[in-house]
Structure formats: structure tokens, C-alpha cells
Structure 1
Amino acid sequence: HNLEPVAFDSSNRFPSIFTIFRSQRPTAEAGAIYNWEGFGRLFDSSLVNLSRHYPTQDATVAAFAEYLVQKKPVLSWVHLDEVDGAGHNFGHGTKGYFEGIRKADSCVGVIINAMRKAGMEKNTMVMVVADHGGVGYGHGGTELEELTVPVIYFGVGIKNGYQIQQQIYQYDAAATIAFALQLQTPYEWIGRPVKAAFKGFEEPPAVWKAIKLADAPVIYPEAAFFARAGGLYIDSLPQVKISAANEKSSGPIYYTTDGSNPTEKSTKYTEPFGLSSTSVVKAAVFENGTPGKIATAYFRLLKSGGQNGVGFRFFKGDEWKQLPAFASLKPTGSWTDYEFLVNPVKLEKAQEGHKGSFGIVAESMLEIDQDGDYQFYTRSDDGSRLFINGKKVVDNDGDHGVEEKSGKIKLTKGRHAIKVEYFNGGGGYWLDVYYKGPGLEKQLIPANKLFY
């Protein structure tokens, strides 16, 4: 919105933790060492004694460990980039991603050992925090998987083995550091110190009593990278198994197979069960009559030998920030699939090594069984649009993380042309397409309703 910051420091930036530290501790040692070069532009390097970028995570950690031993800084910050890189390269939640976390954990161990070697262990607090989560290969949207991050406090003055109950936010990190160092914070800051993490402080009094819901159960076949729980099957569906997500869940599990939310009047899960047609299974653990978080699985059944499918055309882009005019571009690849999902294997083949922006136009004929109002959804990273019979129904364009938008249209029984335009400006990508209508709860548009 081109709004100016409400406060400036001497470098025309919003005051950071380094700003207030330097103004109140003018002679104290402070340093910042980072793996991603871009962090260097986010703060005024003149406020610290050392500001340095290293191209690899190992070099970054080694330099930071040496800095701790030699200078024993009062305030220091280190950035490790491999977890973020693993999310972009392998996908969040994949084996490669967890390997990135394992490496980061070992790096934290190196730093803690250096802190002990420097004799800082008994008077130092350590904070480990991430700046974002992710979905698929990207981040920046509004999904909980992107917004929820861990924070760990360790060291002097910190409670041992305590799990913080209050809701905290990323901008509370600077306020918590200021509290630990007994620094005055600017009026313009909205972050609050997480005092409950410190010995001698309790959780803030609750203005309202939050209800803790049981974790969503797991529906098998469970979700995998780029695949929702359930799956697409030819000619027959597997048995559906449901289990509690953790051993602490004590209540019964109730489920539905029509996409409606389960209640205690729904079917109680006791053993694996079968399905005879495309179904949306929802399940929840009920504790003391209260439903927990709901798990959803999409089971799609497709009979072999039909004309079902979706046609995909692939376009190489050049730093796109919004959907291009595909009609004026020539596709460089094509493939067919059963649903409006981006198949990573087919995409990689079409890319032919191209690592920049790309676009996809996917088209099919959607079979509608009943007259009525239908709502369509695209959930994408980056932008997407959906057209029915040439009319734009969903506009989810733009350079953004995983975001969902929807639109409505009245349709008659029969087949209708459906087209989805999608682009990725770089980094992570994601595309889901859903609909709901008369007698249909919201669901992925199933393969048995798409013809090509």
C-alpha cells in the first residue's frame, strides 16, 4: 500500500533489535553471520561489530562458532539456510526436507559446543526459531503449514522442559530478546516478550478459555507429498483404515463418507471398511462429546477403458509475476493426466531443465449430473484462473504462496468445457482444483467426471 514506516532508525529502517541494542549498549559486542546473502539488506550493518555472509551452511556455522569463542558477544545472530533450501528443492515434509532439519540440528549442536568452549553457557540464552513453514515446494501463503513455526528457548533463566501455552508470534522474538537483555523497547513495536518461558513468570491470564481439540486422526492411505489422503484408483478402491494421530487420544472416532462433517450420530469406526464409489471420507476423534480436528481423504474411483482425462500444455516463462496471455504463446510441451493436479514427473520432463517461470493450461470436459449452482475453487502457488464454457469463474492470479479463491456459476446437467490456467513465478509450486454443488460436498474434481 506504499505506507511509510511509523518509525525510522538512523538508516531509515524500522527499528530492529540491533537498533535498540546499540543505542542502549553502545560498547557491547554484537554480530550477525548468515548463510543467505539477502539477510544483509534487512538491517543496518553499522549497528553490529561483525556482519558477514558465507556461501555454505557449514562455513557459516564454523565462522559463527569461532566468533563466539573469540569475541563472546552479548548479542549474536546466525542464519542457517539448508532447511529452506530443502523445502524448495525436495518439498516440505519430504525425506530430503527432514534431512535438512537433521543437518540444522547438528549445526545447533556445534554452536552450543562453541558456546560452552567460550565459557558462555551459564550466562547465555539461546533462541531457535524459523521464519516460515511451507507447502509443496513453496511458502508465503496463508496455509497453517506455512504460518506455523517452531520456537525453542534454552539456557540461563529459561524453564526446563516447559511447553509454552500462550499464542506467540514471530515479532515476539525481538521483544523477548529485549526482555532478556533488559532493554527498553520502542512504543511502535507490537511484539510482546514471552515471559512464560522464563523462570519466575507464569502464563498471562486468559481472557477467554481456549478449547483444546483432539488431533485429527490419520486416514489411510495417508497424505503424501503432492497427494491428498485417499488417492485415485482404477476399477477398485482399497480398504479405508483410520487411526488416532497420537496415543493420547482417548475418545472414539466417528466418520462419514459423503464429505459432511462427522457427529456422534455418524458411523463409529471399529475396523477398516470398503467403498464402492468416489467418496470424501471425513473423520474426527470425539472426547467428552467434543469433536476434534477433522481429517479429510479423497478417494476417487475411475473405471478403465473410458475417455476420461485432462489435457495439459506447458509454457516456459521469463520472470512472470502474473498469468500471461497464453493465446499469444507457443507451448513447449504437453501431456495428459486424469485430474487437475500437477504431476511432478511429467512436469520435470516438460521443463527440460528450465528452472525459471512456467505456465500450464489444463483443459477437459466436466460432466455435471444435476442442474444447479456450483462453486469452484483453485488453490495455487502462484496464480491461477478457472473458466467454465469460456467464462471466468475463479480469479486467483498473482505472485503469491498457496492461496485459495472461489467463484460460483449456474450449470445444467451435461458436459461443460473447463479450463484452468496456472503459472509459477519461481520456487515452490502447487495446484488443487475443487468444486461443490447440489448433493456434492466440497471435493477435488474427480477423474470420473472429467473427459478429454
Structure 2
Amino acid sequence: MLSKVLCVLSSVTLLMTACTKSSEEKPSGIEHVIVIGVDGLSPDGIQKAETPNLDSMIANGSVKWNVRSVLTSSSSQNWASMIMGAGPEQHGIINNDWEMDDHTMPPIVEEADGRFPTIFSILHKNKPEAEIGVVYHWDGFGRLFQKNAVNYDKRFSTEDSTAADFINYIKAKKPVLGFVHFDHVDHAGHHGGHGSPEYYEAVTKADSLIGKILDGIKAAGMEDKTLVIVWADHGGIGYGHGGATPQEAEIAGIFYGKDIKKGYKIEQQVYTYDLAATIAFALGIQQPYACIGRPVKPVFEGFLEPENLWLGEKRIASPVIYPERKLYEQAGGLYVDQTATVKIETKAENSVTRYTTDGSEPDSTSAVYKNPFNVDKTTVVKAKSFDREGRESLLETAYFRMVKSGSGNGLNTSFYQGKNLEKLPEFATLKKGKSWTSAEFHISRDQLNAILEKDNASFALQFEGFIRIDKPGKYLFATQSDDGSKLYIYGKEVVDNDGNHGVTEATGSIELTAGKHPIKVEYYNNGGGFWLDAFYKGPGLPKQLIPADKLFVK
């Protein structure tokens, strides 16, 4: 009997060994890799827009929903990291202003043209006869790779012409590596806002172009030998990107085609620079030692997740506090002469949501949310979900601000038209435009668009007034802005958040007595999306938007 058991165990072991490939092997039969890069394509966009082609690729392929980008979450450094298999620290492309003849950080290793090696140059060196082609919508992509490493290099002004040319190229040349870049989704994010109907329509358009490329691969007779990868450089929040939030710095990676597992969700952590490593692995070539990317092996049949994979604590879905966040607007809202109704929706299955209204973080002893409730004064609502296995969600926060009309609240706000601003201007040198009273440190996009010069979104604002402090002590102030901002109290700079950037937070502290104190925020926008929020935190006060009822015109 024992011999039979040993025989069975031996047979199972042999079968498992035969089905699992060693780490030294490569996937079998992949002769072509097609990468479809969509600038600004977020996981939210794929999940909420009409995307039948992407949905089919995910159902019949493998997906990682939270591939982490490099920071900042902007285009140049992320497209570079994708094709170079390394981060900004290695390749030296640290921002969108990088140029071959104008940069501060040299690559840690460079080729003859001064660039860090790319997957195109690595493939060309290993397989000189390999057909390699790149077609791109954003002209900035063309400055990131070695021109002598590719056989085909074309740039087009629209997503349709980009797709049409790439499909013709696939049919004519059947490339070993083909890379296409689309830019229109990012444009929609900047114009209409991430999560807007315009943004989702652009994602649907990208999906239709992806479907045409898949048809082109089939028409070329390559379908049974091709790995298709869909990737992005960043997501977005509000009208921009560049910050360090999951919405901006996480993208979806989709693998489809030859030797790819079907309906598989990748467990290992994946980073944007793992793309080049995965292409190299699929094609059986070795990356230079200077590259830090690792191939996403478990997407391929016969390969397992890493043995040393550590997943940490798993989070459950976060609850939603209504009115929920929209674009840049924080959850909650400003209520003039009104009370607010707080509604919380639990998203995680088999869980309860607990909340607080005193600014503390909810725990297992906090109140359980059951029904909507009203608040009649400025309140910070925080909520977390907890499931039966003891797992928690991330914290959700909403800021409900109440103010009574006729109480002298507000800020004097002045507009200044700018031109190609790259930092806060000397306001005395600019012509002052319209002025108005703002309830808070807040920018109305519709209001600004109505007074901006045509085709010139460069402007500056000054907010001036008084902040009432109820308890003396040390106060932390913060601005979150796209682009630059500074906060002053008594004319003293407390927060310096200047310069061109996506929504970024900067902080500073100051001791204040009880009473009113003069406060000023200066803000500018260089172009594209714009936003400003100002926060404070002090004795007995959780960090929150500086509320309208604490701000006064005089």
C-alpha cells in the first residue's frame, strides 16, 4: 500500500514539474510583441467606460489593476521608464521638461547617443535582423528612444491616423516589436476632467482603436504568435496628474495573446518599468544589469507567482461618503444657511462601516453607520469599513463646511492674466483684472474660463482676508495646488508650494494666538488644468479644509 502511495505522489510531482517551467526558461512560441500605450488611461476609465475590446482581453488574458508608476506621475519619466526598464534615478529623465541637450541628471549608463538603453536598442543589439517599429501620437515620445534602433519611426497628429498607420505597418512588416502611443485620452482628462463624460468617451474611442489593431494583427496572420500588452503612463485626478495619489500613480497592465493565462489576476507587485523586462523575457533576450525592471512571469502559462511574494495586509473596498468627491472637489461641500445630510455607502461585502464626526480615525469601537444623518456645523466626517475577517478599508474623509450669510465671511480675490508663468509672479508688475469675494480658498473653473484670454490659461490669483483662531497654539497649514501657491500670515511665508507641478501638497507651521489674523494665499497656473485647496490643523482641530465660517473679509 505504501509503495502505491509513493508511486502516486511521485507521479503528481513529475506532472507538476513538467507543467511548471524553470526560472531560466522563456515562454514558448512568442514571435511578436505589440505594445499599445494609452496616455492617461486609468483603471477607473477601463472599468466605467464602454470598453468591449479591453473587457474581452481581460477575460481572455491577464490583468494587474494597480501597476505603480514612477513619480512624478507625468508622461516623460513614465514612458521612458516603460521602454528603459528603469526609473528616473537610473535613466535621468526626471520631468516633462527633459531634453537631450537640456537636463541635469545624466543616465547611470548611456549608449552612444547619450540615452539610457531602451527595449528597442537592446532588442536591436541582440537580434539585428528584428523588425522594430514605433508609431506615436505625442511628439514628445519620439525624443525618448534611439533612432538607429528602430526600422520604422512615425508620428501623427490624431489618434485615428496613428492607429491606421500602425495597422498598415503591422500588416506590411509583421514586426517582432511594435509600439503604438495614443494621446487623446490624456487630452480629454485635461480638458473635461478625469471621470467626466468626455474622458470616458475618449477611453471608449481608445478601446475601438485597440479592437482595430487586434483585427490588424489577425489580418497579418500573426495572431497565434503574438503577445499584446496594453499599458499607460499615469491616471489622473481632476483636470491633471503628476501628484502622488493612487488615482494618478496607478495604471492597469493587460496581457493578451500567445501563451498568456486566461482570466488571470496578477498577484505580484508590478511597476511601470517592468514592461521592458517582460518584453525582453517574452522574446528571450537579456536586459542590461543597470535595468531594475522584472518580468511579469506569472502571466505566462507554466510560470508561477514568485516564491518570496509577500502581499502584506489586504484591504477591502472603501466606503463612499456622499456628496462624494468629484474631479478635484473634496467630498462633503460648502453649505450657506443650510444643514447637510451625510450619506455613506458600504462597498465591501460582508462588512460594516464605522464613522466619526470629531476628526478621529474610526476603529472597531466607533459608531456603526446605519442611516443618513444631518450636520448643522462645520464637521469632518471620517469612515472606514471592517469585514468579518478583521480586514479594514482605507480611510475616507469628507469636509462639510457651514456658514451663515451676512456674517462678514469671505476673502477678497483678485485675478491677474499671465503668460507662460513658471513661478509665482511679482504681482505688482501685472495688470490687475477682475476682483470678487470668495467663500474659501477655492477656484471656480467656470468663472475663470469666462475671464481668461483665449488660448491662454496662464493666470494668477491673490486671496486676502482674515482667519479666526479659537484656541491658541501651533497650527499647521497646507496648500494643495496645480500649479504653484504660497500661504502667508501677517505677511510671513508659512507654506511654499511654488513651481510648475500637478496637484502637490506643501506644509508649514506657525504659532498663533486666539483671534483674527491676516492671511493671504497667492496662486498661479501655467496652463492646462488648475486647482487650489488650503488646509489647516491645530489644537483640537483635525486637518481639514480651512472652512468658510473661519474666514473673514475684514
- Superposed counterparts of 1:347-362, under 5 Å: 347-362=448-463
Question: How high is the TM-score relative to the length of structure 2?
Answer: 0.79
Identity level (%): 50
Does the CA-based 8 Å contact 2:239-2:327 persist in structure 1? no
Q: Does the CA contact (< 8 Å) of 2:236 and 2:247 recur in 1?
A: yes
Cα distance in structure 1, aligned partners of 2:549 and 2:267: 46
For residue 199 of structure 2, what is the aligned residue in structure 1?
A: 97
> Matched residue of 2:251: which SS?
coil
1:43 aligns with one of 140, 145, 163:
145
Say whether 1:334 aligns with 2:430: no
Q: Contact 1:378 / 1:385 at 8 angstroms: preserved in 2?
A: yes
| Correspondence for 1:282 | 382
Which structure shows the bigger proportion of residues in helix conformation? Answer: 2
Query: 4+ residue stretches of structure 1 with deviation over 4 A?
Result: none
One-letter amino acid of the counterpart of residue 416, structure 1: H
Residue correspondence of structure 1 range 81-160 to structure 2 within 5 A: 81-160=183-262
1:421 aligns with 2:486: no
Q: TM-score, normalised by structure 1?
A: 0.97
- For each residue in 1:83-105, what CA deviation from the matched residue of structure 2 results, as whole angstroms up to 9, or x when unmatched? 11111111112111111111111
Tell me how far apart the structure 2 counterparts of residues 58 and 45 of structure 1 sit (CA, whole Å). Answer: 24
Corresponding residue for residue 166 of structure 1: 268
How many equivalent pairs are there?
450
Corresponding position of 2:481:
380
What's the CA shift string for 1:417-439, capped at 9, x where partnerless? 11111111222222110001111
SS in 1 for 2:217: helix
Deviates more, 1:363-372 or 1:73-82: 363-372
Matches within 5 A, 1:317-328: 317-328=418-429
| CA displacement at 1:354 relative to structure 2 | 4.7
Q: Match of 1:139, as an amino acid?
A: H
Residue aligned with 2:265, SS: coil
Does the CA contact (< 8 Å) of 1:33 and 1:64 recur in 2? yes
Alignment equivalent of 1:309, drawn from 393, 396, 410: 410
1:151-187 deviations in whole A, cap 9, x for unaligned?
Answer: 1111111111111111111111111100011111111
Kept after mapping to 2: 8 A contact 1:142/1:401? no
Equivalent position SS for 2:117? coil
Structure 2 letter corresponding to 1:407: G
Which segment is superposed worse, 324-333 or 179-188?
324-333
Mean Cα deviation higher: 430-439 or 308-317 = 308-317
Secondary structure at 1:335 match in 2: strand
Deviations 1:432-451 (A, max 9, x none): 10001111100001111111
SS in 2 for 1:385: strand
Any residues of structure 2 matched to 1:225-244 within 5 Å, and which? 225-244=327-346
Distance 2:226 2:246 in 1: 32
Paired amino acid for 2:223:
E
Is contact 1:31-1:77 (8 Å) kept? yes
> Could you report, residue by residue, the CA deviation over 1:54-110 in whole angstroms, capped at 9, with x for unpaired residues?
111001101111111111111000001111111111111211111111111111011
Gaps of 5+ in 2: 1-102
| Shift, 1:263, TM fit | 1.0
Q: Tell me how far apart the structure 2 counterparts of residues 297 and 188 of structure 1 sit (CA, whole Å).
A: 44
SS at match of 2:375: coil
Q: What is the deviation of 1:148? A: 0.8
Task: Identify the residue that residue 401 of structure 1 maps to in structure 2.
Answer: 502
Q: Specify the SS of the correspondent of 2:239.
A: coil
Q: Which residue of 136, 143, 161 corresponds with 1:59?
A: 161
The one-letter amino acid of 2:376's match is: S
Tell me, which stretches of 5 or more residues in structure 1 are unaligned?
A: none
Q: Deviations over 1:95-137 (max 9, x none)?
A: 1111111111111011001111111111000111110112222
Q: Structure 1: which amino acid aligns with 2:148?
A: S
Match of 1:196 among 291, 295, 298: 298
User: Partners in 1 of 2:167 and 2:386 — Cα distance?
Assistant: 49
**Code of the aligned partner of 1:391:** K
* Mapping for residues 62-81 of structure 1, pairs under 5 Å: 62-81=164-183
- The alpha-carbon deviation at position 15 of structure 1 amounts to 0.4
C-alpha RMSD of the superposition? 1.4
Residue pair 2:346, 2:352 contacting (<8 A) in 1 also: no
